[in-house]
Amino acid sequence: MGDSVPSVPTSRTGALRAYVGCYTTPQRRGTGTGIGVFDIAADGSWHLIDTTATAPNPSYLITDCEERTLYAAHGDGSRVSALRIDSSTGRLRVLEHYDTGGTNVVHLALSPDERHLVAANYATGSVAVFRRRPDGRLAARTQLLGLTGQPGPVHGEQTGPHPHEVRFDPSGTHIVVPDKGTDRLHRLRYTASSGWLSELGPPVRAAPGAGPRHLVYHPRLPMVYVVDELSSHLGVYGYDAGSANLTLVQRVSTLPREFAGENAAAEVILDRDARFVHVSNRGHQSVASYPITSAGLVGAPVFTSVQGQEPRFMTFDTVGTTLYVANQRSDTIVAFDYSPATGALRACPTVVATGSPSAIVFTRAGMGS
């Protein structure tokens, strides 16, 4: 698996910086202690600068485009945190915590103009909207949109609406919300002037028991790729940008035919050129990589071991040639060399030891304020 990078502080500075979210509570078997701040050297090695303690389970992270402010969603809780990024050291300073009006905040998104922040409350089935101040702090919550729908058939997992992601489409005027609890894709219109979200007619229904979790929009084709957590499928949908309507055109398994164990699909991402779509499997412990045809459909996948347990999150570096996989249960981030031409993944020597990693955000060292 390569040499593990120890989580000990160092003053070494690289051109790229990483912020790592995690789970911290016993209920999640969390071994993290806060948001990790790492410098990444030219040779790809990671060096821990600091760990910022904040509210429990800072499990999902985003930054603004200026890389001055980092926002953390606190899984199982009801808060979002805003933190200031120090440009010279990369260290974080907590600005304030904000109540989302719901429970188990799992995902965040900034509107394209960065005037509003949107949060998904998984357990209580709602989407919260905050107005964002020029200094990066959030103003009072402006909306709490409750989602509706009948629970799906999977006992214990589908008890009601469970929005797992809030992601703006390429136009910036719509959000499609995968609802793991009701097997629906909610279509929301975003009004930039007010930040108000309104539902666009009835949601799109996924297969019963699918548990849609995350999605990604193709940047050039009118297609959306949705990962179904509970059934371990990848759904390919045609997308109408005017209405945010989705039409299922293809549905494929995220697992090899011979695999008979339990699995929960997690993340779905495109590479930089949108030539391949990648899905992480928790159970099979793999990344399934699908080539994308000129029509936006997917071909047969290639499976790569994540060399760890429970790959909850993955992301490419800023140039798109290294894939980082956060293995939540084995307390590692594993790096893979990536070929944009073939979609092939090859494990690198870099293995970062860090407690229960669940999100990674990159910034340029020297940015922020």
How high is the pLDDT of residue 97?
Answer: 98
Its pTM stands at 0.95
In the block, which residue shows the tokens 């985003």?
A: 62
CA 3 to the chain's CA centroid: 26
Measured CA to CA, the distance from residue 278 to residue 205 in angstroms comes to 23
How high is the pLDDT of residue 140?
Answer: 87
Contacts of 135 (CB under 8 A, 6+ apart): none
Domain 4-364 grouped into CATH 3.30.365.10: no
How high is the pLDDT of residue 12?
Answer: 39
Is residue 213 within 8 A of residue 178, CB to CB? The reply is yes
Measured CA to CA, the distance from residue 285 to residue 282 in angstroms comes to 5
Q: pLDDT 10s digit of each residue in the chain, 369 long?
A: 333 443 333 333 448 999 999 999 999 999 999 999 999 999 999 999 999 999 999 999 999 999 999 999 999 999 999 999 999 999 999 999 999 999 999 999 999 999 999 999 999 999 999 999 999 999 989 999 999 999 999 999 999 999 999 999 999 999 999 999 999 999 999 999 999 999 999 999 999 999 999 999 999 999 999 999 999 999 999 999 999 999 999 999 999 999 999 999 999 999 999 999 999 999 999 999 999 999 999 999 999 999 999 999 999 999 999 999 999 999 999 999 999 999 999 999 999 999 999 999 999 986 545
Q: Where do the domains of the chain lie?
A: 4-364
How high is the pLDDT of residue 1?
Answer: 33
